[in-house]
Structure 1
């Protein structure tokens, strides 16, 4: 019960921070969703041909899970390192929010593109290729963003408001939170590597 009370207290203290991160992430999704409507016809056609070729090729040859796993890590690790590095700077908070905006944008853009390009079939491809892993990725990125903004805010307060006092930001509670969040990330990577390709292959074999 103490843990629940502690979490509730922490949420109330940083309620505006949670709202800000969620708002920027959601704005990114909306911007990504609407951007697809204003793309040039040639760009849309090129992307459509690329995705169609990629989806059709899934049934022709086995997927190299090792290469896929490495590509997924490369895709995410840059953003994770950037967010964590920004947590150690006094100007990290607004930049982290922009990173969340970009992350939401890519998610909304990809989802909207698949649905728009493949019409009715697109919803199933989008659900199979985007939703499963992002059930875990989204809480992970929102969580580390909030933690990183909190740490950046502490740095800012130490520099300008409370120069004489140094807060210990590396508490056991923080390490537990980070450990839990990275577990979510690992689960997301496993799903994207081993489950999503099989889902896409199954759906593409039924629809194409």
Structure 2
């Protein structure tokens, strides 16, 4: 157990710059998403809020998709996204695309929270806390870790391919890379369960409180 903890801390120390880079990239995406909200004109905001308001009414009426459908949709969405990062990490040249994916993920989170707060003030903040925060407390670190691990593997692959000391075995780092992504897949499964069973109920309670008050 101690050996694993020591290996993990050593890994973080050696690759701290990569983890900081991916975290900043995600954070910049969040900020950019919030900026997009402020750059929208009144008509665009009204149109988007109309659809959001319709969704809230459907939720109160109980016509929103059931939890099982939401779980399938959430699970396959995250699995495909993570699988894409996994594949790009093995391609070396796919590193810039990984950066774009992380940046876009940050934009989605920043825009979602920013729009709710912009349109509804403290009520929107409560809605964001109920519907977006629970699963994203898991999803955001997982995506940052996935992007970082993919970048580290790309650098490792590049170093081994360019090494002049003869053939360098690629199987051990690939097995470790695959095992880490399997763990991340499992963690994202937990996030999908929260997104499908916990967040909708929490959001519905907040919506009923706001619209009923």
- Give the TM-score of the pair, scaled to structure 1: 0.91
Distance 1:93 1:133 in 2: 26
Q: Partner of 2:174 in structure 1?
A: 170
Deviations along 1:166-208, one digit per CA (max 9) or x if unpaired, are 333233x545533332222011100010111111111111101
Residue 205 of structure 2 corresponds to residue 188 of structure 1: no
> 1:141 offset after TM fit, Å?
0.9
Residue in structure 2 matched with residue 37 of structure 1 by the alignment: 38
Instruction: Note the C-alpha offset of 1:74.
Output: 4.1
Counting only pairs closer than 5 Å after superposition, residues 1-208 of structure 1 correspond to structure 2 as: 1-61=2-62, 63-162=65-164, 164-167=167-170, 168-171=172-175, 173-208=176-211
What is the Cα deviation at residue 6 of structure 1?
Answer: 1.1
Q: Secondary structure at the match of 1:170?
A: helix
Q: Deviations over 1:116-150 (max 9, x none)?
A: 11122101111111000011111211121122112
Quick one: structure 1 residues 77 and 177, their matched pair in 2 at CA, closer, same or farther if it must change by over 3 Å? Answer: closer
State the 1:115 CA deviation: 0.9
Unmatched runs of 5 consecutive residues or more in structure 2: none
Task: Indicate how the Cα distance of structure 1 residues 78 and 40 shifts in structure 2: closer, same or farther if over 3 A, else same.
Answer: farther
What secondary structure, in the 3-state scheme, does the structure 1 residue paired with 2:43 have? Answer: helix
Is the 1:22–1:142 Cα contact (8 Å) retained in structure 2? yes
**Which of 66-75 and 113-122 deviates more?**
66-75
Structure-2-length-normalised TM-score: 0.89
How many residue pairs match? The answer is: 207
**Structure 1 unmatched runs, 5+:** none
